[in-house]
Structure 1
Amino acid sequence: MTTAAKVDALMDGLRADLERLAAIPSVAFPGFPAEPVREAHDLLVGLLRDAGVERVESIDLPGTAPVIFGEIPPPDPDAPTVLLYSHYDVQPPGDEKLWLSPPFEPTPVEGGLRARGIADDKSNVIAHLGMLRAYEGRPPVGVKIVFEGQEEYGSPFDDYPPSDPERFACDAMVIADLGNLRPGTPTLTTALRGAAEVVVEVRTLDEPRHSGEFGGAAPDALIVLLTALSTLHDVQGDVAVAGLRREEWRGTTYTEEEFRELAGVRDGIPLIGSGSLGERLWSGPAITVIGLDAPGVEHAASAVVPYARAKLNLRFHPRQDAKEAQAALVDHLRSLRPLGVPLTVTPGDTGPGYRASTGGPAYRAALTALREAWGEEASYIATGGSIPLVNGLARAAPDAEVLLFGAQDCMCNLHAPNERVLFSELRNTVVAMCAFVREYAAGFRPGAGESA
């Protein structure tokens, strides 16, 4: 029986398990109950054991949900070991009035299912299980399984793997927390932009003052802040902060029509910046004002504003040092004196980017596997989002090849209302996982590997 035929025979069971898992509101954010997270954990432990993973345990660290760790030894001493990563926690549903069906009631849509977390990342958890089932728990490689329980909120586990390198030692890892550029287009993500936060604030007066009596001479803190923020971009909308790395993007990217639809850009509103979309989104910097403290319009008084504050989110080139990128933005802001007023600039959290090496045997196996599953050559993309654990795992296993692919697609509404996954993408991801371990085992040590 071919790999595809075996996976097709498993799909009804995989779909049923995905529905069970997606029905659990495993939100690991503060203020949400911990019991559903534990329920999802326990369900997956049982599913892993049923799939033939005899060693399954939990990594319990302070301040985070339990991490599921499983292990299948290599079938022989010369076989490679592959680490499989995904996470079983999900984003909060947000405003449930914006959902077409209850977010934790998996609901059929054309070609798939709708539910919170069903794409990000429970479909990828199920894809890993599907590969194990296809091989009846005896794949041609050693397997280490890491299913995280608090990825969406942020977790101390991000920095844990380098402290326990033997546990996470492997030859390749498949980070399944993303997916294809569009449905039907097999995609490898080869880079992640880094992230940093900066807070800038202005205080000009002891307290608000009547705008009629004092406006025109008394410095308005909000105008000062907006003047400073206006220097972060040039007239085209490109970032104008010196020292932030930007390069041409040579991989695949969206069409402008796709991007406008995905971003919800209104008719008649232009996109900002210049160069290709890949360069603007992935290999160049972006600065977004993600928060602003200022008087609200509805209850605004006729007064000069004495205080204003903004929180900035910086995304930067995958290979730029996080502290260097943040310092470039901080230095730019501290050099300003808008209307003669100094700014208070406070650096916040940073997260490094990541750029994968793509020339090794695992990448060659993945390209073959994706072509087998989808029937066409894989595309290369990056992402502006970050997966902090990637760097932690890469530091724990510095010689391992890191592959990022999975069952999501960029149209799946992850983190948004009406998130969905397509069965075609889930099925093809399972086929690709099976083909990958087969091809990797054969290429790592010629003659090894079984046929799934």
Structure 2
Amino acid sequence: MTSSPTAMPQNPKGTASPGLAENSWTEELRSSIDQDFGRMLERLKNLVAIPGIAWPSFERAPLERSAEAVADLLRDAGVGNVQILACDKPDGTPGGPAVVASRAAAEGKPTILLYAHHDVQPTGDRSLWETEPFLAVEKDGRLYGRGAADDKAGIMAHIAAYAAVSEVLGSTLGLGVTFFFEGEEEAGSPTFRSFLEANQELLRADVIVVADSSNWKVGTPALTTSLRGLVDGTIGVQVLEHAVHSGMYGGPVLDAPTLLSRLIATLHDDEGNVAIEGLVAKDTAAVELPEADYRADASVLDGVRLAGSGSIASRLWTKPALSIIGFDAPSVESASNTLLPTARAKFSLRLAPGQDPGEAMDAVRRHVEVNAPFGAKVTFTPGESGNPFQTDTSSPAASAAMWALGEAWGVPAVETGIGGSIPFIADLTEMYPDVQILVTGVEDPDSRAHSANESLHLGDFRKAILAEALLLARINAEGL
């Protein structure tokens, strides 16, 4: 996932399903998954050991090795037509290797596409990790390691669920199943659209399950029904042609980092609300997240006042959020006594549902140009963008998913809104306008995706596998 999300619960639904809740499939699938869980967990650990990072600044060989390992897992599961495919980026360099495999649908049966991604985030500051990032370690009921949750567990959940359904249903399984495991999601999916266009028929399905989100909390499953969109880019400030001595020339002119800091300060008002005109912002979340829960999940330090106005749920779900995620300036260790001529920062702006990304990008550009401090030269370079997402919760696939989640966990599932973004979902909805998209996941608030000490709750991982197996079995039996 492109970011660590925070989920908001919406309208819990019951778990009953007439004619199916009593079916022996539930216990048969549970037994099959339990028997095979140790083997699947070892395979997940082997995937975690591969540092497949799709960022251009990292070596490509581990990413290709990761794709090969995933392809082997699909072959071992008996899935046919396993391929490793890629499209070139606009600059001609290769995109991340995706793994695609499929089982054809029987006549009259729908096809379901199971998506996850095998690439991972960089480790960041290694000193913050309590275990080796690329060595999966079990501790206190969790599995630690980069990608253990985001999103190699999603891959294994898909494969393990398919294996269980194949074993239990045997020849009665007529559902078409396509696996699509992307290899560049953490790098912003730069070739996703071109990949869809090149493989549109290969990936066509009636339902798409995106296993790249989070559950509400440990012990409570969720179906993600809303995502914020995203735009990012860089803001640069220049005040001098070149660096000059701070003692000889300091005073009449302010250095670039200082002026860039002043410009960044205009992006929020005194309460911490995003202060860029023209952005969609609504205080419409139907439920509230207790402040204490948010502080605990986000690891907010005591004494730090929360930013923004309105409910915490709305601030996370239906309002924009802007962060500075990078800053180019000399490090403290290498700083010299000079006035710096230039400075640059990267921003990330989360968009509320209903916001057009192009209009949001233009709004940021206008804001920084109008607020250029002391007449400094300001440059704005747009980056990636992605649309917000909302699903139709009344669809047959969504109803089946809510039932399956509740059945697997033994408690009612909830619908959630997510503060993070999965920009490629907008491409899926545009390319396949009639498809039913389900956003599920194996993470929980303490999974720490993208951060040090990323981990997976093993109990909920087992339940996630069962939930997906039940979903496949129900769609196979009842159709859409």
How many Å separate the matches in 1 of 2:391 and 2:79?
Answer: 29
Q: Tell me which of 451, 463, 467 is aligned to 1:432.
A: 467
The question of whether the paired residues in 1 share the 8 Å contact of 2:71 and 2:84 is answered with no
| Contact 2:111–2:175 (Cα < 8 Å) also in 1 | yes
Q: Distance in 2 between matches of 1:157 and 1:300?
A: 39
Contact 2:111 2:177 in 1 (8 A): yes
Q: Does 1:39 align with 2:65?
A: yes
Select between 126-135 and 254-263 the one with higher mean Cα deviation: 254-263
Structure 2: unaligned runs, 5 residues or longer: 1-23, 89-93
Partner amino acid, structure 2, of 1:91: Q
Q: Distance in 2 between matches of 1:420 and 1:238?
A: 32
For each residue in 1:96-149, what CA deviation from the matched residue of structure 2 results, as whole angstroms up to 9, or x when unmatched? 332222222221111132121111111111111111111226545211110112
Instruction: Identify which of 123, 131, 136 aligns with 1:106.
Output: 136
Distance 1:261 1:334, change over 3 A: same
- Distance (Å, rounded) in 2 between the aligned partners of 1:7 and 1:331: 54
CA 1:29–1:205 in structure 2 vs 1: closer, same or farther (change >3 Å)? closer
Task: Determine the structure 2 residue equivalent to 1:448.
Answer: none
Aligned counterpart in structure 1 of residue 261 of structure 2, from 193, 213, 226: 226
Which residue in the other structure is 1:235 paired with? 270
Identify the match of residue 163 of structure 2 among 90, 112, 133.
133
**1:75-94 map, 5 Å:** 75=106, 77-94=107-124
Specify the code of the residue in structure 1 equivalent to 2:202: R
Structure 2 vs 1, CA of residues 261 and 205 (structure 1 numbering), >3 Å: closer, same or farther? same
The amino acid across from 2:177 in the alignment is V
SS in structure 2 of the partner of residue 61 of structure 1? coil
Q: Which amino acid aligns with 2:185?
A: E
Distance 1:105 1:164, change over 3 A: closer
CA distance in 2, matches of 1:298, 1:18: 40
C-alpha RMSD over aligned residues: 2.5
Which residue does 1:48 correspond to in 2?
A: 74
Q: 2:180 aligns with which of 125, 146, 161?
A: 146
CA distance in 1, matches of 2:206, 2:428: 12
Judging changes above 3 Å, is the alpha-carbon distance between structure 1 residues 222 and 11 closer, same or farther for their aligned structure 2 residues? closer
Pick from 110, 125, 130: which aligns with 1:95? 125
- The offset of 1:158, in angstroms, is 1.2
Are residues 200 and 170 of structure 1, via their aligned partners in 2, closer, same or farther at CA, if it must alter by over 3 Å?
same
Give the Cα–Cα distance (whole angstroms) in 2 for the partners of residues 296 and 66 of structure 1.
35
8 A contact 1:168–1:397 mirrored in 2: no
Match of 1:28 among 38, 54, 71: 54
Of stretches 322-331 and 246-255 in structure 1, the one that deviates more from structure 2 is 246-255
Alpha-carbon distance between aligned partners in 1 of 2:147 and 2:307, rounded to the nearest angstrom = 30
In the alignment, structure 1 residue 259 sits paired with structure 2 residue 283: no
Normalising by structure 1, report the TM-score: 0.90
TM-score by length of 2: 0.85
Distance in 2, Cα, partners of 1:68 & 1:302: 52
Question: Could you tell me whether the CA contact under 8 Å between 1:162 and 1:392 is conserved in 2?
Answer: no
Name the SS for the 1:162 alignment partner: helix
Which residue of 2 is the match for residue 119 of structure 1?
Answer: 149
Superposed CA deviations along residues 333-360 of structure 1, whole A, max 9, x for unmatched, are 2222534556333333323222222221
Whole-angstrom CA distance in 2 between matches of 1:210 and 1:24: 48
Aligned residue identity for 2:157 = A
Provide the C-alpha distance between the structure 2 equivalents of 1:260 and 1:142, rounded to a whole number of angstroms: 43
Confirm whether residue 246 of structure 1 aligns to residue 287 of structure 2. no
Matched residue pairs, number? 444
Aligned-pair CA distance for 1:424: 1.1
User: Contact 1:6 / 1:134 at 8 angstroms: preserved in 2?
Assistant: yes
Is the CA contact (8 Å cut-off) linking 1:61 and 1:156 kept in structure 2? no
Say which SS state the counterpart of residue 185 (structure 2) adopts.
coil
Which runs of structure 2 are paired with 1:360-399 in the superposition (5 Å)? 360-399=395-434
Q: Is the 8 A contact 2:234 2:347 kept in 1?
A: yes
Aligned-partner Cα distance in 1 for 2:459–2:287: 21
Aligned partners of 1:339 and 1:43: how far apart in 2? 55
- Pairing 1:11–2:37 present: yes
SS at match of 1:167: coil
* Offset from partner CA, 1:207-242 (integer Å, 9 cap, x none): 455666655543554443333322221111011111
Identical-residue share of aligned pairs (%): 37
Secondary structure in structure 2 of the residue aligned to 1:349: strand
Q: Distance in 1 between matches of 2:57 and 2:113?
A: 32
Mapped pair 1:328 → 2:328: no
More displaced stretch, 250-259 vs 20-29: 250-259
Structure 1 residues 253 and 17, CA gap change in structure 2 (3 angstroms): farther
Given candidates 68, 74, 78, the residue that maps to 2:105 is: 74
